[in-house]
Amino acid sequence: MLEEEWLYEAITETYIPLLKVFEGLKRDGIDFKITMSMTPPLVSMLRDPLLQERYDAHLTQLEELIELEAEHNVNNGHLRYLAEHYITEFKEARQLWERNQGDLVTAFKQFQDSNNLEIITCGATHGYLPLMKMYPEAVWAQIQVACEHYEQTFGQPPRGIWLPECAYYEGLDRMLADAGLRYFLTDGHGILYARPRPRFGTYAPIYTETGVAVFGRDHESSQQVWSSEVGYPGAAEYREFYKDLGWEAEYEYIKPYIMPNGQRKNTGIKYHKITGRGLGLSDKALYDPYWAREKAAEHAANFMYNREQQSEHLYGIMQRPPIIVSPYDAELFGHWWYEGPWFIDYLFRKSWYDQKTYQMTHLADYLRDQPTQQVCRPSQSSWGFKGFHEYWLNETNAWVYPHLHKAAERMIEISHLEPEDELQWRALNQAARELLLAQSSDWAFIMRTGTMVPYAVRRTRSHLMRFNKLYEDVKVGKVDSGWLEKVELMDNIFPEINYRVYRPL
């Protein structure tokens, strides 16, 4: 399945490489600090025994393919060199996977326990909160279910939340405070347009009137990594994402290693570098990990130097320690930007040994050390196109919202029911799961981007159809137990959910 392939790519190319970096830093006595959100769906997938078993088989298949590649390229020095690079990489991934018995969540948790990693939560299913604010119960469910799931996973309540798509609306902070959250992140303009205008812009958090702190994304450091024009990932020495063995090898040769239906896919084995702007894929030169590592070290040094200059400049103006918040999608590091984990590794090592101007910190630790901050009302905002809600509400996806709103109304209605038996209890809880899954902002996002649109439409419709059948069955008091069992197996997220979370606040 497509979504499983995305998960396997993320595990091999992002989460295992990040864990390798963290292990190396810890081993070498570097007291690193990094914050990472782990969404409830990601945690649930990483902990699912069936998906763990299937990932193990996926990794075995990759190991087999790269051994085959090494044999086939025995007389091609450079391709053989690259194949051996991937053999080592997959071997190390296998070792880390087996060392942790396939439980990467616990592997990350150990770094949280040592205060090197601050794991924050997100909305339960990444629902776009400003577009459901007319149903506060639905917003509350997204927040509360996420917080409960986090505590069940990590043994403590979350301190912070990455709002889905950084999307904030006025009044949301009240719910975050009621859920026990201490801070959230927003895009820069969410703070810059706050009322009153914050004295220190995005370089200090603000407190809302409910006592929750707000941190804003720093544009300068974000652009240095993100920007396709000036960002590091576009360097000629780095690996080219769009030339993959899965699409380039002869079909009969690669067929055992692609999708079961014969559809080609990315394997993660890529032999070429970006080479230069404006070149076609056929003009790309062969990749060399040695020189790519050198470039990652160079970029890490540049990023460190720029943060030193920025910090000194800001301190001179503010006369107090500024905070520079530089958030990125996790999958930038390793998946999209293959050298990203190397960059992080070098950045932490250089920051530890080569400078004394700034220190890495967790947002909660900064609040503890700098408890006095300005009180303001953040502006409605998101980190999407044009900075507000247009990307998730436009001509491509507006059709979904009347259905989502009706489902929210119905869920609030049946949240008042008291189940007559265990079957009805299960049906009510499953209805809550289906609504949460239907609300994922990913579906509207995919519809807007124009890629994989039938998949996003199918997911939205299937969750809504299941929800509506559950609603109708509960209302007439006749739940189809066989059908319910199948749906519970398919959509088994949040095993501890309680549908009463939708009762009016």
pLDDT in tens, 474-483: 999 999 999 9
pLDDT at 418 over 80: yes
Nearest to 247 by CA among 239, 237, 257: 257
Quick one: CA dihedral 38, 44, 49, 53, positive or negative? negative
Answer yes or no: is 2 within a domain: no
Phi, psi of 414 (to 5 degrees): -80, -10
Domain limits for position 482: 399-502
Q: Is 75 a domain residue?
A: no
1 compared with 118, residue with greater pLDDT: 118
Considering the chain, what percentage of its residues have pLDDT values greater than 70?
100
Residue 484 in any domain: the answer is: yes
Range 79-89 average pLDDT: 98
Is residue 401 pLDDT above 90, yes or no? yes
Q: Which residues on adjacent β-strands are paired with residue 495?
A: none
Spatial separation of the C-alpha atoms in residues 43 and 150, rounded to whole Å: 9
Q: Is residue 151 part of a domain?
A: no
- CATH code, domain carrying 407: 1.20.1430.10
User: Given pLDDT bands bounded at 50, 70 and 90, which one contains residue 167?
Assistant: very high
Tell me if 333 sits within 8 A of 343, measured CB to CB.
yes
Mean pLDDT of 452-471: 96
Over the chain, what is the mean pLDDT?
96
Domain-located, residue 440: yes
Per-residue HEC secondary structure of 440-474 comes to EHHHHHHHHHCCCHHHHHHHHHHHHHHHHHHHHHH
Pair of tokens at residue 438: 């239907």
Mean pLDDT in residue range 224-232: 83
User: Alpha helices, DSSP H only, in 288-420?
Assistant: 289-318, 340-353, 363-369, 400-414
Q: Is the pLDDT of residue 442 over 90?
A: yes
197 has binding-site annotation: no
Residues labelled as active-site residues: 165, 329
Total number of domains in the chain: 1
- Answer whether residue 342 is part of any domain: no
Query: Average pLDDT for residues 445-465, to the nearest whole number?
Result: 95
* DSSP per-residue letters across 160-175: EEE-GGG-B-TTHHHH
Is 174 marked as binding a ligand? no
Residue 234 annotated as binding site:
yes
Q: Which residues of 320-351 are buried (b: 16+ CB within 10 A; e: fewer)?
A: ebbbbbbbeebbbbbbebbbbbbbbbbbbbbb
Identify the DSSP state of 284. Answer: P
What average pLDDT does this structure show over 56-60? Answer: 98
Q: Above 90 in pLDDT, residue 410?
A: yes
Q: Is the pLDDT of residue 240 over 70?
A: yes
Decide: 66 and 81 in contact? Cβ < 8 Å. no
Query: Omega before 196 cis (within 30°)?
Result: yes
Contacts of 479 (CB under 8 A, 6+ apart): 423, 424, 426, 427, 470, 473
Specify the 3-state DSSP secondary structure of 376.
coil
- Is pLDDT of 229 > 90? no
The number of CA neighbours under 13 Å toward the Cβ of 27 is: 7
**217 known member of a binding site:** yes
CA distance 358 to 195: 29
pLDDT at 228 over 70: no
Percentage of the residues of the chain whose pLDDT score is greater than 90: 93
The answer to whether 436 and 127 are in contact (CB under 8 A) is yes
In this prediction, residue 48 carries a pLDDT of: 96
Which of the four pLDDT bands, split at 50, 70 and 90, describes residue 125? very high
CA-based nearest residue to 189, from 146, 149, 233, 219: 219
pLDDT for 297 equals: 98
The pLDDT value recorded for residue 384 is 87
> In this predicted model, what pLDDT tens digit does every residue of 309-363 receive, in sequence order?
999 999 999 999 999 999 999 999 999 999 999 999 999 999 999 999 999 999 9
- Position 223 scores a pLDDT of 87
For residue 204, being part of any structural domain is answered with no
- Give 85-105 pLDDT, tens digit per residue: 999 999 999 999 999 999 999
Chain centroid, CA 340 distance in Å: 15
Question: Is 64 inside a domain boundary?
Answer: no
pTM listed for this prediction: 0.95
Tokens of 67: 């051994």
